[in-house]
Structure formats: structure tokens, C-alpha cells
Amino acid sequence: MIINGVAIDETFAEAFGMRGTRLIITAHDLTWARHAAVALTGFATSVIACGAEAGIERELSIAETPDGRPGVSVLLFAVSSKELGKQIERRVGQCVLTCPTTAVFSGIDSAEKLPLGKTLRFFGDGFQLSKLIGGRRYWRVPVMDGEFLAEESVSMVKAVGGGNFLVLAEDQVSALRACEAAVESMRKLPNVIMPFPGGVVRSGSKVGSKYTALPASTNDAFCPTLRGITRSELTPDVGCVMEIVIDGLTDADVRGAMKAGLAAVCSVGAAGGVRRISAGNYGGKLGLFHFHLREILA
């Protein structure tokens, strides 16, 4: 399959079942809501070492938030409900509770719940108060600028992490431009994030390492500087490879984002320096979800 001069490998991205949630952070204005959201989603690129994968989903108008203030929606993903609960408590406690004027709410509904204000309330040292409004409980924690308001619990759903594709280009500039176009297109869609910096990964990994302490190591087959000393997947016209990883609330969300991103890369095309598109997988043995590139683009 060749689209606009770009060869599409006959392969698939292998993704994994995760646990996910959405938090809505509001504040006096959008600037402060974004400050809290950026801090909360920091150091959250890969569960390999970060504990969670998180990112800003979108900005919210006053008509879309529970308290009628400007807000930001963030998505968080972890490998288990226990880990997700731990990450929510730590990140909200250190990054939202501390941020001037903010409040935090659950942005998704499901039967599975994790504590939010239920644990953060103890910072109030006994001065905290609760209110039950419309069947939902909120905690008011006194802080030095007034009160921090947090919904008692946040809903959790089964989710999908690790959808991906690889952009193989003639040089770094071409790969970056194609990936930037893809990320811009995917960020217009709901229910997905690209958790790495700017949505792009230069250090794609494989499972395992020659060093037993490491669970993952550089994907040498796609490293251009190793072309002559490893079993390379790269042809001579490829000088740079970059990866985009997608997490979503459902497999359909991940598939839709991949379709938009792949189409954007193909629009850049061979004229823009893109040579091939591939994907990362583990032979289909580890992940429950397989996203076949040619099937998505057909």
C-alpha cells in the first residue's frame, strides 16, 4: 500500500488494556487551570517508569464545567486500579490542591470509583466540610486563598494504552514536521492523549535488554546509526524514525486517532520527506488490541 508516495507497512500496533479516568480542573481563569493541568500531567509519559501516562485532553468553556468556571480536561492511565488511585491522589494533592483558585471534579461516569476528595480532605486537619449536591458529594478543604473544592470520588473505566505508529523519514526535520501534523490532527479528537513530549517519541523501545535490570531498551532495528551493525529495518533513504503513542478510553477512540494521525502523515507525503509508516508490536503475544495500519487506512 502506497499513499501519496508513502509506503504503509503490512504490520500492526499492539496495545494493552489499562485503567483510565478523566479529571476536570477548574480555576479563576484558564491560565491557572492550565498551570495545574500541566503540573499534574508532568512526568507521565510511560508506565515503564512514570507510574502513569497522562495528558491534557482539551480546554473547557464555562458552560462545560461543574462550577461554571474555565477548565481543563485531563486523562490519566495506569496498569491497574490500585496504581491509578495512587497516582490520582499524589498528582492532585501535589499539583492541583497547591495551585491557586483550583477545584477538581470527576469528568467521567462509571460504576467503578476511586477516592479523590475522600482522601485529600484530610489536609484540612479536621476543618474540612462536605456537601451533598445532586447525589454527588464534594469536600471543601480550607486553604490560604479560601477553599479547595474536590469531588469525593472519580470514576474509572477500562481503557487502552500503547496504540502507536512509526514515521520513517529522510531526516529529522521531515520526521518532525510529519509528526507535528499528525499530533495536531489527533488532538482535535476526544477521549485520547499522546502522552510523550509534544506527542512524539524519539526513543522507541523493545522488550528486554542485554542488561537484566532493564525491562526495555532502544529499538535498535529502527536506529539509523546502527544500520550497519544490527538487523536493521531501515532502507538507505531513511535517516530518522519517530514514534507517536496514543492512549484512549476505548479501542475505537485509539483507532480513530490513529486513522487521523496516519492520514495527516500521508498528506505530508513523500514530497515532505516521509518514506514509510510502520508500527511497534511484540508479535501479537502481549497486547490484547491489534491495530492494523492498512486496515485502518483502507
3-state secondary structure labels for all residues of 53-98:
EEEEEEEECHHHCCCCCCEEEEEEEECCHHHHHHHHHHHHHHHCCC
* Amino acid 284: pLDDT: 86
Q: Specify the 3-state DSSP secondary structure of 246.
A: strand
Q: What is the pTM of this model?
A: 0.94
What's the CA gap between 223 and 180, in Å, rounded? 20
Specify the fold of 2-14+160-297.
Alpha-Beta Plaits (3.30.70)
* Amino acid 15: pLDDT: 97
* Amino acid 282: pLDDT: 86
DSSP per-residue letters across 141-200:
EEETTEEEEEESEEE-EEEEEEEEEEEEESSHHHHHHHHHHHHHHHTTSTTEE--SGGG-
Pairing mode of beta strands 274-278, 6-8: parallel
Burial of 93 (0-12, 13-18, 19+ CB in 10 A): middle
What's the CA gap between 42 and 196, in Å, rounded? 10
* Amino acid 174: pLDDT: 98
Q: Specify the 3-state DSSP secondary structure of 258.
A: helix
CA distances from 281 to 194, 226, 284 (A): 18, 20, 7
Within 10 angstroms of residue 64's Cβ, the number of other Cβ atoms is: 15
Q: Which amino acid makes up residue 139?
A: W
Q: What is the CATH architecture of 18-157?
A: 2-Layer Sandwich (3.30)
DSSP conformational letter for 201: B
Grid cell at residue 163: 496504540
Walk along the chain (298 residues) and give the pLDDT tens digit of each residue.
999 999 999 999 999 999 999 999 999 999 999 999 999 999 999 999 999 999 999 999 999 999 999 999 999 999 999 999 999 999 999 999 999 999 999 999 999 999 999 999 999 999 999 999 999 999 999 999 999 999 999 999 999 999 999 999 999 999 999 999 999 999 999 999 999 999 999 999 988 899 999 988 999 999 999 999 999 999 999 999 999 999 999 999 999 999 999 999 999 999 999 999 999 998 888 899 999 999 999 9
Within 10 angstroms of residue 121's Cβ, the number of other Cβ atoms is: 22
Find the helix packing angle between 251-268 and 172-186, rounded to 10°.
140
Find the helix packing angle between 81-95 and 30-40, rounded to 10°.
130
Within 10 angstroms of residue 271's Cβ, the number of other Cβ atoms is: 10
Residues of the chain with CATH 3.30.70.520: 2-14+160-297, 18-157
Q: Which residues contact 225 (CB under 8 A, 6 or more apart)?
A: none
Angle at 230 between CA 228 and CA 234, to 5 degrees: 70
